[in-house]
Structure 1
């Protein structure tokens, strides 16, 4: 009976120390992720796109 009690006590303390030690590792930290857009990747292509878009919006043949 004493051996079972010692093993259970040892497992309890080992588990509590293990779970307590992981709390610092599992903290959530924010990270900055830079996701470039088309304007930053290719400014000339973006300028052409805006010009074409303005021309399309001026045209009355499309659905409003």
Structure 2
């Protein structure tokens, strides 16, 4: 697990999340720890290196 920092697409605050670097790719929804709005996160790793990080807001 590694911690990555990025900006919330709703409130623009910098937040961090732990990602499992052993999983090649995944897409999931997580709430922002600051504003509690849902964020769609797409991540991808190649040889343990982050190669894809897409953060999108989900309209409510």
User: Of Structure 1 and Structure 2, which has the larger fraction of its residues in helix?
Assistant: 1
- The alignment's TM-score, normalised by the length of structure 2, stands at 0.19
| Bigger Rg, which one | 1
Highest RCO, 1 vs 2 (Cα 8 Å, sep ≥ 6) = 2
User: Of Structure 1 and Structure 2, which has the larger fraction of its residues in strand?
Assistant: 2
